[in-house]
Structure 1
């Protein structure tokens, strides 16, 4: 049985050990993840590292700290420095607090594009409030959906069961196997090896982060370099020896086998077939522009001069200047990725409706009809008997407070964020409306579609020509819904692990506030201290500060906010044909469902998941072909070959290895920055000291008469 059916209410939860370990871990994780988000090889450190490390440290603290009672004057309360053995409940709460530093802060990208891309000032207090309120807003109404998404046993949140299993495995007494090592010893050994090795791709030999074999053989061929480049092309034959490159899509070791093959199918279909076919048949004048980029162009292929269409005083779109200048063009790769984003949205809804619709309807009816106390499962009965619930007014008060701060953020500070107060209310309404259906999908099908495309499209039609209004609205709508569902998911984890609900609420809220402050502080420091951060035209070739994710975010703000969806995707526009991807996404799961019903004995048909297929291809850009290559190779080796032939080893050490590789790589990356990168020293000066795949021609256009970037040959 995965979930324990017993409980000890006397176990301490929010102890001083919990707060020390949780807060320190939260700050460090948020710092490292935000730090790496600006680098070419982005690295995301999960809370598994904390989950593994917190246990021995907590037990060590339980052995060495004195049982001194500390009394807090005025408040009339006290706490013990050492309330006894380190408990599993403390372990869970430490991980909950720390996990706030793993998901990123979407609003930080707004601050980044304002300062680094639009080159405008943003009030620091407005930026702080923006990063806090967008993350906290969803907590306010999450409490309203607890009785539908947490309390019923039918809403089981499958992803939490994996976490529960790991908590139990770590907290159960483990003896060192004969001739082997414990999980903690294995973690420390692998982390040390990862830490030591990463100095090679990070400093001594950055070129091994992307080795494009075809480019090294055919040095003068544009088409071959477009095919072979792992950074700017299709990545045929490209390989890397760098965990940071392999883990950009998330840890490949943690991906189930069926997901690996769905992603592989996505990569082959869209990257090796659809996109090359579109490029070499010159769809959307593809050959006039760089092969793979998120940058914006004018009709001749020159980089788009946004200053010509943005009024510098009002920071709004100048329609007359736009009509006299040029429509915005994007690379065909980027255009198709938008179409794939459209398809992902409808495919998710279609897939869930077809494959899980009846089951979800049944669960919903059971949840709404059995929400009373007498129908609670064993976990619900234990929780009700032993712990007080979170008062509903806590959620109401938080919602009112954060809503008021959100309105003040957009209406104050000279209305620099361009979104009026009713935009906040509309964003809240959209997020509130989608929280319940998306929450049901997440709680039963372990899939959570976002509403970022819908939200930026809606506000793009309502308020065209205002880039900040678009991204601020999108962030408030999409992030608040996501945070509400994350909050509910964590509440279900606490439900399974028998954590007092009020302790969970305090830990989640405190973790979110602390993480947001760390995200913002890290971003503000880097944006202030790193010269020309994100400005690739002004940075040296060996710099890691290229901000691939924020570059896409910036281009999206121009496409949806400055120009607007009507001019980019509306009737008669250049990219109006991409709207057919909505229909494609709607119909694709129906084909799979039809074959599934016709051939029910073919179990593999059920594993074809078009939401995963579309979503994977939609990551390009900023994800590169080299990332897909390495991710799949590593994932296949561990989750297919190792799992098949060494299942016991895989079950014991696979996730621990993933966490160790993440931790060692990130620690070395931060150490290298403070020791070398802070002094503009990024690598050794030799052939392999450049973080490049030596495919310079992959960025060159192939259409005669197009604008020729520096370093590209003239075409005839």
Structure 2
């Protein structure tokens, strides 16, 4: 928050009393135009710039080389990108993340991707890892084929037990399985980390909230009318009532009982404070998706729609609450009237929800084979990586259920020990901090962030590029041009995002709607076709060599 605070408040006057030669507005326009123009190359003309995986080019027929060098389906060793969307699409802009958070993500990434996964895949062949791609969020049969979900779903969108037994257990790639394990650890670590490192501060601030000394921002905001509490209470009652109506009168479509809604709201309420603290200090937000999926999958197995609804109400309620608080914090600094902030957020939510639902409905009915990667052209923008992970999660946790995957009937029950490891991890860090209080770097170890990286649908290249760019800007520029950096950093981040977004819209409406694609060597985003191939002897997959 430091950089955007400087950007929004600091007057554009140098120490000598003169205005800088380049105002923030002019800098924003220049950076936006440059970002807009450049995005034409990785976005359309030369898509190989999205993932420059030279290891794959050097060894075009080696499956192992492709697994190591691929930035989209492998470990991204040596892979580079010149596409800002690859850098900032999943982890948000690295320019506005504190350096200690980047270090935590880097340590977690190296631990998982470059130590644990290679050992599990090549060293131990854990869970028959070589039968499947090394880096994939898809679901597989024991023979390494894509799992045909439609065969195990009955007319009521519930699990067909007989067909499931015939098709066999669901198998995950090494990456996907371990990601869930470290996700278990991250959510458990969030509770213990916040309790140990921020528990006393939370308690003191709560006690002082009604009688504490007001800062200058709070005193200035007294000039505006505050938001009546009944606005929030009324909105809460109306939204819960509407949701309860859906659960009670649309049982067939929603599948979630009314008590599931109350339970999801309670989970969101419990986790909002600790996850808000992690977000405020690191700019990284651990999600409740895994824990909500797990809980409802245990309670109501075989109901994927109910699982998705519970996950949405639990996870998104918490996520939107944090976004709401973030907006109010910015409005507090900018002295925007609180009632105006509330109305803008309320109207914006209604408009955004309506537009998003309408756009999704239109796309589902206008784009053929949308989100079905195997049936789409090679460079199609409609592969929906986030939605495919969401769908696979609904199958794992809702349709099949945790018991058949992470329980006694599944292959991955050992991953449940990650919950305990995540809960105890912050205790070890806290004890180290108490034993060596002069070592200021110890409390900067943030296990919820460290253990939560990486995870699908982000690729390894998303992480390596995000870490590299964030390190360069936080170290080199921050060190040698500190004043310039503090003045323009937030502006640059916003300009890069805006330029990419405008070009994406232009490309879609001018070329994408007519399916006009270039076909040449540079149209392939990576040239690592063998990265998704298995390496187990005797396993045959179309397009891959058989060992």
Q: Deviations over 1:148-206 (max 9, x none)?
A: xxxxxxxxxxx4x6544432237999999788321111111111111111111111110
Give 1:234 shift.
0.6
Verify: 1:180 aligned to 2:15, yes or no.
no
Aligned to 2:532: 699
Matching residue of 2:69: 228
1:322 aligns with 2:164: yes
Q: Which residue of 2 aligns with 1:363?
A: 205
**C-alpha spacing 1:710/1:463, structure 2 compared with 1 (3 Å):** same
Which is further off, 350-359 or 411-420? 411-420
Match of 1:536 among 370, 373, 393: 373
Aligned to 1:685, what secondary structure does the other structure show?
A: coil
Match of 2:523 among 679, 683, 689: 689
Q: Aligned residue for 2:546?
A: 714
Distance 1:491 1:186, change over 3 A: closer
Is 1:675 the counterpart of 2:510? The answer is yes
**1:600, distance to aligned residue in structure 2 (A):** 2.4
1:192-591 correspondence runs (5 A): 192-248=33-89, 249-280=91-122, 281-311=124-154, 313-367=155-209, 371=210, 379-384=217-222, 386-413=223-250, 415-435=252-272, 449-591=286-428
**CA distance in 2: counterparts of 1:615 and 1:526, whole angstroms:** 32
How far, CA to CA, are the matches of 2:282 and 2:83 in structure 1?
A: 33
Q: In 2, Cα distance between the equivalents of 1:252 and 1:536?
A: 29
Deviations 1:106-157 (A, max 9, x none): xxxxxxxxxxxxxxxxxxxxxxxxxxxxxxxxxxxxxxxxxxxxxxxxxxxx
Give the C-alpha shift of residue 350 in structure 1. 1.9
Shift of 1:611: 1.4
Check 1:190–1:561 CA distance in 2 against 1; reply closer, same or farther (3 A cut): same
- Give, in whole Å, the separation in 2 of the partners of 1:207 and 1:501: 47
CA distance 1:426–1:278, change in 2 (3 Å): same
1:646 aligns with 2:481: yes
Q: Contact 1:174–1:182 at 8 Å: present in 2 too? A: no
CA contact (8 A) 2:70 2:76 kept: yes
Question: Is the contact made by 1:209 and 1:241 (CA closer than 8 Å) also made in structure 2?
Answer: yes
Structure 2 distance, partners of 1:177, 1:671, is 39
* Closer/same/farther in 2, CA of residues 177 and 224 from structure 1, 3 Å limit: farther
Partner deviation per Cα, 1:10-43 (whole Å, 9 max, x = no partner): xxxxxxxxxxxxxxxxxxxxxxxxxxxxxxxxxx
Q: How does 1:5-24 map to 2 (within 5 A)?
A: none
The structure whose RCO (Cα within 8 Å, separation 6+) is larger is 2
Deviation of residue 571 (structure 1)? 3.1
CA displacement at 1:589 relative to structure 2: 2.2
CA separation in 2, counterparts of 1:293 and 1:435? 30
2:467 to 609, 632, 638: 632
What are structure 2's unaligned runs of at least 5 residues?
Answer: none
User: Is contact 2:3-2:487 (8 Å) kept?
Assistant: no
Q: 1:28 is matched with which residue?
A: none
Aligned pair in 2 of structure 1 residues 496, 631: CA closer, same or farther (>3 Å)? closer
Give the TM-score of the pair, scaled to structure 2. 0.93
Answer yes or no: is the 8 Å Cα contact 1:175–1:182 preserved in 2. Answer: no
Question: In the superposition, relative to structure 1, how do residues 405 and 653 fare at CA in structure 2: closer, same or farther (>3 Å)?
Answer: same
Contact 1:216 1:694 in 2 (8 A): yes
After superposition, give the CA deviation of every residue in 1:254-283 in whole Å (9 maximum; x if it has no partner).
222212222221121110110111111111
Q: State which of 490, 495, 506 in structure 2 corresponds to 1:655.
A: 490
Q: For 1:435 and 1:306, how far apart are their aligned partners in 2?
A: 34
CA distance in 2, matches of 1:542, 1:700: 19
Q: In the aligned structure 2, how far is the partner of 1:310 from the partner of 1:363?
A: 51
Change in CA separation of 1:436 and 1:600 when aligned onto 2, cut-off 3 Å: closer
Give 1:703 deviation, angstroms: 0.8
Closer, same or farther: CA 170–242 of 1 in aligned 2, 3 Å: farther
TM-score normalised according to structure 1 size: 0.72
Distance 2:283 2:206 in 1: 16
How far off is 1:712 after superposition?
0.5
How many residue pairs are counted as aligned between the two chains?
Answer: 545
Q: In structure 2, how many angstroms separate the alpha carbons of the residues matched to 1:244 and 1:485?
A: 24
The change in CA–CA distance for 1:267 and 1:488 in structure 2 (over 3 A counts) is: closer
**Larger CA Rg, structure 1 vs 2:** 1
CA contact (8 A) 2:403 2:409 kept: no
CA distance in 2, matches of 1:321, 1:627: 38
Q: Deviations over 1:497-523 (max 9, x none)?
A: 443332222122112111222222222
Post-superposition shift, 1:222? 1.1
- Would the alpha carbon gap of residues 701 and 644 (structure 1) be closer, same or farther in structure 2, given more than 3 Å must change? same
SS at match of 2:475: helix
Shift of 1:380: 4.2
The CA deviation string for residues 310-342 of structure 1, in whole angstroms up to 9 with x for no partner, is 10x211112232123201111110000001110
Cα offset, 1:442, TM superposition:
6.1
Compute the displacement of 1:624 (Å).
1.1
For the residues of structure 1 that align with 2:281 and 2:146, how far apart are their CA atoms? Answer: 46
Maintained 8 Å contact 1:450/1:478: yes
Residues of 1 paired with 2:256 and 2:219: CA distance?
Answer: 46
Offset at residue 438 of structure 1 (A): 5.0
C-alpha separation in 1, matches of 2:278 and 2:464: 30
In structure 2, distance between residues paired with 1:240 and 1:445: 24
Structure 2: distance between partners of 1:628 and 1:496: 32
In structure 1, C-alpha distance between the alignment counterparts of 2:81 and 2:476, rounded to whole Å: 20
Q: 2:189·2:422 contact (CA, 8 Å) conserved in 1?
A: yes
Distance 1:235 1:449, change over 3 A: closer
